[in-house]
Homo-oligomer: A and B are copies of this chain.
Amino acid sequence: MALKFAKRMDNMKASEIRELLALTAKPEIISFAGGLPAPELFPVKEWKEAVNKVLDERGQQALQYGPTEGYEPLRKHIVQRMNKVGVKDAKPDDFLILSGSQQGLDFMAKAFIDPGDQIIVESPTYLGALNAFKAYEPSFLEVELDDNGMKMDQLEDRLKNNDRVKFIYVISDFQNPSGKTWTMDRREKLIELANKYDVAILEDNPYGELRFEGEIQPSLKSLDTEGRVVFMGTFSKVFSPGIRLGWFCAAPEILDKFNKIKQGADLQTSTISQMELAQWLDDNDLEAHIQKIIDVYGKRKNVMVDAMKEYFPEGVTFTNPEGGLFLWVELPDYMNARDLAVKAIDKKVAYVPGGAFFADNIRENCFRCNYSCMDEEKIVEGVKRLAEVIKAEMK
């Protein structure tokens, strides 16, 4: 037998994170490699109440097929989420419910990308997005990040010198993996350039509401003047990833394409999950719940940053995010975080080597650390172990 797969399969690799997670699942390993929310914060009791209410009152409906665009009462709740990131005029009809926002990455490339078309991405960027996009055989154009967002001269250079750019993919708040957040100036400039060069923007915003300090930034969607920003939100980080619920907010012309794609891809997102979440949102205060998450993650982030300040040798730098789940460590140029990861696992501590987060110009002297899903004591102990491993490599 010699079945021939599609060409796209040559590009598609298993996520290094998922494979690494398998390796680091042993209880004795302190793992900063995952991106898991803290399970002790899941509102299991209140969820159970909501679920029982749905099943008592509308059980048959919950187990039946539902509309492709999603359960309307849930879409009504999402109006408030959009409000919080500055989109004041969104209506339930502006949303498509997704089976997690990862599905949106797939749909965006499916709607826009013919083989050879170009996607502009941050450097580094979310490796799950790179993998999803690769199925549609794009080429990537990277734009470096500084502390304020993408470097705008580089971005304009890419836009000016390439004629197959279909969209710019951006995580503007507490980016995965870097933890960086775009300033208002850069956001406005990005919209201006997208308008000028007539390309779409995919705004991936899973963490925006998880801000430990300062004010929530206006989303790119809220600055969108021509309906070219596709906003992707999710309940994975503010509620639960296990229920797989996310959404698109986009202009009708684009949303219509996504609806057709959704029909082919999985017909609809789980009726029962949508109804249960809508019930939970009716009966509970999501804002208060988010505040609980912020309090815990904010402390853990501080503990991680403080420990890195104390134990990491000079020459190693790291970001200090104002929100989200991740921070980013830069080692001296001569170090390779991929090689170092093996030694770290020997010392029973793990992270994700940074190389995985670059589309093309791979840098290997960096790595991503997650701080959301372990207690403060473990964070300190893990950083100490990491510091030992790094120190042993310092020249």
With the chains together, A56 CA to B49 CA distance in Å? 12
With the chains together, A6 CA to B136 CA distance in Å? 10
Q: Least Cβ distance of A190 to chain B in Å?
A: 16
With the chains together, A100 CA to B128 CA distance in Å? 22
Q: Which residues of B contact A227 (CB under 8 A)?
A: 1
Q: Which residues of B contact A64 (CB under 8 A)?
A: 36-37, 39, 42, 240-242
Q: Which residue of chain B is the closest to A107 with respect to CB atoms?
A: B265
> Interface 1/0s, chain A 171-192, versus B by CB < 8 A?
0000000000000000000000
Task: Let me know if A264 and B106 touch, CB within 8 A.
Answer: yes
> Interface 1/0s, chain A 260-302, versus B by CB < 8 A?
1101111111111100000000000000000000000000000
Copy tally for this chain in the complex stands at 2
Task: Let me know if A264 and B128 touch, CB within 8 A.
Answer: yes
Task: Let me know if A2 and B198 touch, CB within 8 A.
Answer: yes
Q: Which residues of B contact A111 (CB under 8 A)?
A: 5-6, 9
Q: Which residues of B contact A14 (CB under 8 A)?
A: 259-260, 263
* The one of B18, B47, B99, B100 that contacts A59, using a Cβ cutoff of 8 Å: B47
With the chains together, A264 CA to B63 CA distance in Å? 27
Q: Which of A1-29 contact B (CB under 8 A)?
A: 1-9, 12-15, 18
**Does residue A125 face the partner (Cβ distance < 8 Å to B)?**
no
**Does residue A146 face the partner (Cβ distance < 8 Å to B)?**
no
> Interface 1/0s, chain A 108-146, versus B by CB < 8 A?
001111100100000000001001101110000000000
* The one of B13, B40, B56, B99 that contacts A60, using a Cβ cutoff of 8 Å: B40
**Does residue A48 face the partner (Cβ distance < 8 Å to B)?**
yes
Known: A5-B111, A110-B8, A136-B6. A269 touches B244 (CB 8 A): yes
